[in-house]
């Protein structure tokens, strides 16, 4: 009993000295749009880690989604996913959240545009997002707090597909990918559950599956108002049948729409994601 009490006292003392560090940095990146034009811009990257930990921590690069209108994309401000980032820091991670070109405080041209509903070209949009993610990773290699040989790419919606895009690149140090509600072409206001050109998304995920060799976790709500219940499973199966490694988790429906379960219902996915990360980073 004395040993238990001593251990608890030590843990309480450690916790009292721990603090969340939040750092903001402008990071120069380049990206190509769907027309092949190259743009250079400094993007805002928000980083979180715990200051009481000695040595580097495994890294999560967490990518935001894409609002349908320019005004909404500008309204993003500075991406941070604060609650999720704090949870990841508590698990021992160094978290980096880029605000990509064309969004919020970073501003700039819409390099991730995938064109009109009838002629979607998804690939270049996700390539632009993934290239920025890769450049953020290269920037982090200079941080002593970041273990860039143990990296997870994670994202929600457009950012979720970006995670799978990066997974297909088999980069040095990137060990796993987590895709929350990834996809494109959603139009919930007019065609809920019926995105533009879902066959093109299926083809793209199959293309990613042919080269991706790291484990991935795919999480979609049963009542995702952007993609519905059918398309995400088809996209995942296309990825896996092409050779990709992954597991699919169907999250329960959310009363206000399941596409945002990442932030609205973390209790539905945190245990599965924690277990996945623990296993993926063992190797």
Which pLDDT belongs to residue 117? 95
Question: Which residues are CB-neighbours of 177 under 8 A, at least 6 positions away?
Answer: 152, 153, 154, 163, 164, 166, 167, 212, 214, 215, 216, 217
What value does the mean pLDDT of the chain take? 93
The CATH architecture of the domain made up of 18-280 is 3-Layer(aba) Sandwich (3.40)
CA separation (Å) from 83 to 118, 182, 209, 226?
A: 37, 20, 31, 23
Which pLDDT belongs to residue 182? 98
Which pLDDT belongs to residue 17? 56
What the block records as the tokens of 49 is 């880690």
pLDDT in tens, 65-87: 999 899 999 999 999 999 999 99
Which pLDDT belongs to residue 276? 98
What the block records as the tokens of 209 is 């599956």
CA–CA gap between residue 101 and residue 132 (Å, rounded): 8
Q: Any idea which residue has 């969340």 for tokens?
A: 20
Residue ranges in the chain whose pLDDT is less than 70: 1-17, 283
> What pTM was estimated for this model as a whole?
0.92
């Amino acid at each position: 009993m004395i040993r238990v009490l001593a251990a608890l006292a030590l843990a309480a003392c450690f916790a009292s000295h721990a603090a969340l560090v939040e750092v903001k940095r402008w990071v120069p990146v380049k990206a190509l749009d769907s027309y092949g034009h190259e743009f250079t811009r400094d993007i805002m990257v928000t980083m979180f880690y715990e200051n009481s930990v000695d040595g580097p921590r495994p890294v999560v690069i967490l990518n935001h989604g894409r609002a349908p209108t320019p005004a909404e994309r500008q309204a993003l401000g500075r991406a941070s996913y604060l609650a999720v980032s704090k949870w990841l820091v508590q698990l021992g991670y160094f978290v980096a959240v880029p605000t990509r070109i064309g969004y919020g405080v970073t501003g700039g041209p819409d390099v991730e545009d995938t064109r009109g509903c009838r002629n979607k070209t998804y690939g270049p949009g996700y390539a632009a997002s993934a290239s920025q993610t890769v450049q953020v990773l290269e920037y982090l290699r200079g941080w002593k707090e970041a273990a860039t040989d143990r990296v997870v790419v994670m994202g929600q919606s457009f950012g979720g597909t970006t995670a799978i895009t990066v997974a297909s690149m088999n980069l040095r140090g990137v060990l796993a990918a987590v895709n929350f509600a990834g996809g494109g072409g959603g139009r919930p206001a007019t065609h809920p559950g019926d995105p533009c050109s879902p066959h093109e998304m299926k083809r793209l995920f199959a293309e990613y599956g042919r080269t991706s060799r790291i484990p991935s976790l795919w999480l979609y709500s049963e009542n995702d108002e952007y993609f519905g219940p059918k398309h995400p499973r088809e996209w995942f199966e296309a990825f896996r049948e092409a050779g990709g490694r992954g597991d699919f988790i169907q999250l329960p429906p959310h009363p206000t729409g399941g596409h945002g379960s990442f932030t609205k219902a973390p209790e539905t996915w945190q245990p599965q994601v924690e277990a996945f990360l623990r296993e993926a980073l063992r190797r």
